[in-house]
Amino acid sequence: MTKLIINKKEYVLDLKGHETLLEVLRDKLSLTGTKTACEESECGTCTVNINGKAILSCITLAADIEGEEVTTIEGLAIGDHLHPVQQAYVDYGAVQCGFCIPGMIMSSKALLDKNPTPTQEDIEYALDGNICRCAGYPKIFDAVYKAGEIMKRGEAVKEIDEKKDKFKSTMAKGLTYEEFLNLPK
Amino acid sequence: MSISTNSSQNQINLNPVGKSVPRIDGKGIVTGQTKYVFDVSFPNMLIGKMIRSPHPHARILRIDTSKAEALAGVRAIITAKDTYNIKYGSNEYFFPHTVDQMALESEKVRYIGDEIGAVAAVDEETALAALELIEVEYEQLPSVTDVLEAMKPGAPQIHDAMNNIGVILPVNFGNPERAFKESFLVREDKFYASAAAMAALEPHVCVGQWETFSNKITLWASSQAPFKCREALAKTLKMDLNDIRVIKLAVGGGFGGKLEMLPMDFASCLLSKKAGGLPVKICYNREEEFSFSRRKHAMYYKVKTGVTKDGLLTGMTGEVIADGGAYCSYGPTVMAAAIMRIFMVYKIQHFRINGYRVYTNTPISGAMRGFGGVQSGFAIESHMDLLAKDLGLDPIEFRLKNITTPNMVTVNKMFLTTNGLKECIEKAAVASEWTHKRGNQSYHKSGILRRGIGIGIAADVMGSKMYKSHESAGAIVKVEEDGSVYLFTGAADTGQGSNTALSQIAAHALGVKYERIKCKSGDTEITPFDTGSFASRVTFISGNAALRAGQDAKMQILEIVAQELKIALTDLDLIGEEVLNTKDKTVLMNFDKALELCYSFNYGKQIIGRGSYNPKTTPIDFRTGEGNVSGSYGFEAQIAEVEVNIETGEVKILKIWDAHDIGKAINPQSVEAQIEGSLAMGIGYTFTEDLRFKNGRVLNPNFANYRVPRSIGTPEMHSILIETDDPEGPFGAKGMGEASLLPTSAAIANAIEDACGVRIKDLPITPAKIIQALKDNQSIT
């Protein structure tokens, strides 16, 4: 039996040696938020975080990550409070068909946890393994920048771009990032 | 630390049309809770796999499934003998002779991957093992995989079509030869536009369930056109439409690839029947997706144009040869789009372009975003720059002399009403500092890195009658006693955001905040009919239905208020959640109060608004190309600035500007997102996306070798929205979503010529081609 820690919950599972984390998440645990569009490490759609790093679950053997901290898209929001990265993706219209978005958000979060003030180049490199076919990438870049600002400053960003009449973005329900992180889980 | 209470979660959008409200499905998507058919699973669900031909062209002599049937865990196997052998097609109504595909082929296979059967087993492993045990005896036939070879006399015959030409589309007006004689100069160019893959991230996937006792089918499908899928299923399964329910969940992208019923949809239902009613899921893997779904038609585009000394177009002739692959799919409409779009863009009286769509023993070409307009956009807009160069005219000046205008009837009887093309060109030119950069020898024209700027323009329909005599969309707005508002629309949101835009329209028309709307879409048993998501039609056509349903619901509420307050109905309105007396501008009550009244003891009136819209078009005569295909037309101009490394041949796009006449932006953020997505796809098509074949087999069926744009190198994109307030559109809106893809390749090719003097006429534009052209110092074809 193998003990996996996923979104801070422990699962004790009878795993076969060849089962990937992706298969375990989707087929065994019904955590279908993590997608895949290739199963051969090319599309980034299956990205999760393991110990804070963006990792492709389609080429990660589940049995190999016993005891490590796995976070999936289902593990970001707290109650009905979205994580700032999630909130920014909604606010900046970075979402189209949405199939790439869970992986895209997990890559974004891994970047911003390490570096909340990324340059354009940092963002492009961090997300280069994640294909988006619908939206191009500009709105995704916007979302990552602004989420980083919220996470770094620990405060709400009031106005995004007044000229363009875009949405006001704040932390979910007016919380600071610090307060968000301290919400009762 | 101050906290704003104005978070978007609390934002109220009273009059939502024209605002960048958040996507109605945004939170579901970012939390991973949105369900796609990809995620659907049922107890006892079987996994299906298609039995495919390994040969490009062969006769089926014998299929023996007995060994596979004996394998433990196999629950059902079907082949053509389990079917009625009924052919179906996508342009059946207008082009009955193009109905050429069977759900499971019975006699012949025509491409590597052609479906001849399917298996269902308890899991994927068993289903794949069963495929290995199926014995098929083929008699291999001579095959032809090159489109030009396929047209030659004596080439292997794939269907009963002379010279393998499945579709001939002659578009013919006036007398172009005479026009050429009277021209100052005549120029001819040949272009090649390559095949491309849709590459939607969610693959083709479906779950079929046949309730064997009630004889009813439910198909959960990742579909752009659930009603069209239902029709094809009913035909091939000899069922009544009403015995089939097709349900679309969230769809992970379509781009034209999910417009048609595929054999897998049919197979999942029939396998379910044979397995006693257990649900059967079939999901393509990425290799199947690249190899066996649909692709963009590769096209040879020859065009010859005459101009006067002043730069006015006199006449145009040409020939389009498209590689159709093994079956017809949406071939006729792709050809029509490849030829007839030019009338929306340029004033031209003498014209003859003949289109030939040719069968080959390769995977099926279909309707990829823009239909044939992307290929023709590359050809025509490159050709226009070459004409301007011959005349010594600035490309923009040349185009402005020849573009269509508002309120004009084109030579093929299209009625262009609002037309912002001129404004699009002018605004894009100003934003990009065109006059400073174009042809300016002092602007980065020396050294290794050379800069250039180029333009392409385009126009697009918003809808097209492709499979029925009408193209209507319906909508229902149901206002519940608790104040919740449901919008039921048949429109299929495939990720573009139509559920959001239609909800904005319905809310605004009803006079309530956007946040009240719950949108239910794309379920053939629950929602009104809609032909689907294609041809940029949804905002315009389905939007008009949502508008009418919202208005109808509003009138029902106001009738009760009028009766209760004894005020004339004509003096009442419901705007922004308030019932107003329009005479003295007083607020009579809020929406909740009005609703309370509707559902009160005295009235008990259920509020159910309905709307239906069918665009005002005229029948198209496909023998000539005459007819008004769309209820309105959208326009756009695109300018690309590039930097060419003349040592390596690499091209970097510095900036790209897109000015788009969208009538009215229902949701500006979504409009921009559609433009940006189109630009990315257009850039990919221009440089790297090239689906390659050898002997009918796809050589690059994966993301490693078929390179779609990734985040590194994304250029700055600037959208300029031109609002021409279309009288026919909902709140003045037009459709959009495809037009921005049409001129991209040409704008880039034109910019490359401005940068370094070479003209690339075949896609994709690779560094090797640029280096070769620089060496030759001339155009390559």
Read off the pLDDT of residues B402-440 as tens digits, 9 standing for 90 and up: 999 999 999 999 999 999 999 999 999 999 999 999 988
**Cα gap A99→A46, rounded to integer Å:** 10
Residue A169 has pLDDT above 70, yes or no: no
Strands B651-661 and B716-722: parallel
CATH code (residue B93): 3.90.1170.50
Question: Torsions phi, psi of B613, nearest 5?
Answer: -145, 135
Query: B741 lies in which domain range?
Result: 295-465+620-776
- Assess contact for B333 and B296: CB atoms under 8 A: no
* Among B390, B458, B422, B455, CA closest to B754: B455
pLDDT classification of B465: cutoffs 50, 70, 90: confident
Residue B535 has pLDDT above 60, yes or no: yes
Residues B442 and B486 in one domain: no
Query: Which position has the token pair 């290929």?
Result: B375
Residue B530 has pLDDT above 50, yes or no: yes
Residues B352 and B243 in one domain: no
- In DSSP notation, B582-622 reads TTTTEEEEEHHHHHHHHTSTTT---EEEEEEE-------BT
pLDDT reported for residue A154:
60
pLDDT classification of B481: cutoffs 50, 70, 90: very high
The fraction of chain B above a pLDDT of 90, given in percent, is 94
Q: Report which DSSP code applies to B778.
A: S
Residues B461 and B488 in one domain: no
DSSP three-state, residue B302: strand
Q: What is the pTM of this model?
A: 0.95
* B 254-313 → A contacts, CB under 8 A: 255, 285-286
Task: With CB atoms and an 8 Å threshold, state whether B202 touches A134.
Answer: no
The residue ranges of DSSP E strands in B198-250, in sequence order, are 205-211, 216-221, 244-248
Average pLDDT taken over every residue of chain B: 95
pLDDT classification of B260: cutoffs 50, 70, 90: very high
Q: Domain boundaries in chain A?
A: 2-75, 84-181
**Cα gap B37→B250, rounded to integer Å:** 7
Instruction: Residue B670: list chain A partners with CB under 8 A.
Output: 93
Residues B453 and B508 in one domain: no
* B58-83 pLDDT, tens digit each: 999 999 999 999 999 999 999 999 99
Residues B340 and B440 in one domain: yes
Angle between helices A84-91 and A138-153 (to 10 degrees): 140
What is the dihedral angle through the alpha carbons of B57, B61, B66, B68, rounded to the nearest 10 degrees? Answer: -10
pLDDT reported for residue B444:
86
Question: Torsions phi, psi of B741, nearest 5?
Answer: -90, -20
> Which superfamily does A84-181 belong to?
[2Fe-2S]-binding domain (1.10.150.120)
* A 144-183 → B contacts, CB under 8 A: 154-156, 158, 164-176
What mean pLDDT do residues B266-286 have?
Answer: 98
Determine if the peptide bond prior to B764 is cis (ω within 30°).
Answer: yes
pLDDT classification of B353: cutoffs 50, 70, 90: very high
Residue B308 lies in a domain: yes
pLDDT reported for residue A57:
98
Residue B280 has pLDDT above 60, yes or no: yes
Instruction: Residue B704: list chain A partners with CB under 8 A.
Output: 40, 42
Q: Report which DSSP code applies to B250.
A: B
State the amino acid at position B401 in one-letter form. K
Residue B150 lies in a domain: no
Distance between terminal CA atoms of chain B? 63
Identify the burial level of B213 via C-beta atoms within 10 angstroms of its C-beta, where 0-12 means exposed, 13-18 middle and 19 or more buried.
exposed
Cα atoms found within 13 Å of the Cα of residue A21, Cβ hemisphere only: 27
Its CATH architecture, for the domain A2-75, is Roll (3.10)
Instruction: Residue A23: list chain B partners with CB under 8 A.
Output: none
pLDDT reported for residue B13:
87
Task: With CB atoms and an 8 Å threshold, state whether A99 touches B25.
Answer: no
Residue B407 lies in a domain: yes
Task: Report the run of H or E that residue B305 belongs to, with start and end.
Answer: strand B298-307
What mean pLDDT do residues B361-372 have?
Answer: 96
Of B366-380, B412-426, B616-630, the one with minimum mean pLDDT is B616-630
As separate numbers, helices (DSSP H) first and strands (DSSP E) second, chain B gives: 20, 35
Task: With CB atoms and an 8 Å threshold, state whether B286 touches A37.
Answer: yes
Sequence-separated (6 or more) residues with CB below 8 Å from residue B250: A97, A98, B25, B28, B29, B34, B35, B36, B493, B495
Q: Does the CB of A16 have a partner CB in chain B at under 8 Å?
A: no
Task: With CB atoms and an 8 Å threshold, state whether B681 touches A133.
Answer: yes
Residue B466 has pLDDT above 80, yes or no: no
Interface probe with B: pick from A99, A139, A163, A180, most Cβ of B within 10 Å: A99
Q: Does the CB of B201 have a partner CB in chain A at under 8 Å?
A: yes
Residues B636 and B762 in one domain: yes
From residue A3, give the alpha-carbon distance in Å to each of A32, A34, A55, A72, B383: 20, 20, 19, 16, 64
**Cα gap B144→B151, rounded to integer Å:** 10
* Among B716, B89, B644, CA closest to B357: B89
Residues B243 and B300 in one domain: no
- In DSSP notation, chain A reads -EEEEETTEEEEE---TT-BHHHIIIIIS--TTS--SSSSSSS-TTEEEETTEEEEGGGSBGGGGTTSEEE-GGGT-BTTBPPHHHHHHHHTT--SS-SSHHHHHHHHHHHHHH-SS--HHHHHHHHTTS--SSS-SHHHHHHHHHHHHHHHH-S----S-TTTT-----SGGG--HHHHHTS--
The fraction of chain B above a pLDDT of 70, given in percent, is 98
Residue B332 lies in a domain: yes
* Among A33, A29, A27, CA closest to A11: A29
Residues B122 and B230 in one domain: yes
**Cα gap B246→B227, rounded to integer Å:** 7
Sequence-separated (6 or more) residues with CB below 8 Å from residue B99: B87, B88, B89, B92, B328
Task: With CB atoms and an 8 Å threshold, state whether A135 touches B36.
Answer: no
State the amino acid at position A151 in one-letter form. M
Question: Torsions phi, psi of B686, nearest 5?
Answer: -70, -40
pLDDT reported for residue A109:
97
pLDDT reported for residue B130:
98
How many other C-beta atoms can be found within 10 angstroms of the C-beta atom of residue A58? 23
What mean pLDDT do residues B108-129 have?
Answer: 98
CATH code (residue B649): 3.30.365.10
* Among B727, B739, B597, CA closest to B679: B739
- Assess contact for B577 and B12: CB atoms under 8 A: no
Residue A160 has pLDDT above 80, yes or no: no
Of A38, A87, A136, nearest to B680 by CB-CB distance is: A136
* Among B519, B384, B390, B542, CA closest to B454: B384
* Among B140, B139, B134, CA closest to B51: B134
Tell me which of B7 and B130 has the higher pLDDT.
Answer: B130
Cα atoms found within 13 Å of the Cα of residue B48, Cβ hemisphere only: 35
What total of structural domains would you count in chain B?
3
Its ipTM equals: 0.96
Residue of A nearest to B249 (CA): A97
Same fold, A2-75 and A84-181: no
Residue B183 lies in a domain: no
Token representation of residue B47: 């996994």
How many other C-beta atoms can be found within 10 angstroms of the C-beta atom of residue B624? 14
Of B3, B710, B711, nearest to A174 by CB-CB distance is: B3
Residues B247 and B346 in one domain: no
Strands B473-479 and B365-366: unpaired
Residues B366 and B515 in one domain: no
Task: With CB atoms and an 8 Å threshold, state whether A131 touches B36.
Answer: no
**Cα gap B587→B361, rounded to integer Å:** 69
* Among B358, B370, B297, CA closest to B98: B358
Task: With CB atoms and an 8 Å threshold, state whether A97 touches B250.
Answer: yes
pLDDT reported for residue A80:
84
Token representation of residue A80: 């009905």
Cα atoms found within 13 Å of the Cα of residue B608, Cβ hemisphere only: 4
Instruction: Residue A165: list chain B partners with CB under 8 A.
Output: 19-20, 668
Task: With CB atoms and an 8 Å threshold, state whether A137 touches B10.
Answer: no
Residue B286 lies in a domain: no
- Assess contact for B346 and B425: CB atoms under 8 A: no
pLDDT classification of A149: cutoffs 50, 70, 90: confident
**Cα gap B37→B221, rounded to integer Å:** 6
pLDDT reported for residue A173:
53
Strand order in the sheet with B716-722: B449-461, B633-645, B651-661, B716-722
- Assess contact for B569 and B561: CB atoms under 8 A: no
Sequence-separated (6 or more) residues with CB below 8 Å from residue B718: B431, B655, B656, B657, B658
Task: With CB atoms and an 8 Å threshold, state whether A134 touches B29.
Answer: no
What mean pLDDT do residues B101-130 have?
Answer: 98
Residue of A nearest to B492 (CA): A97
pLDDT classification of A179: cutoffs 50, 70, 90: confident
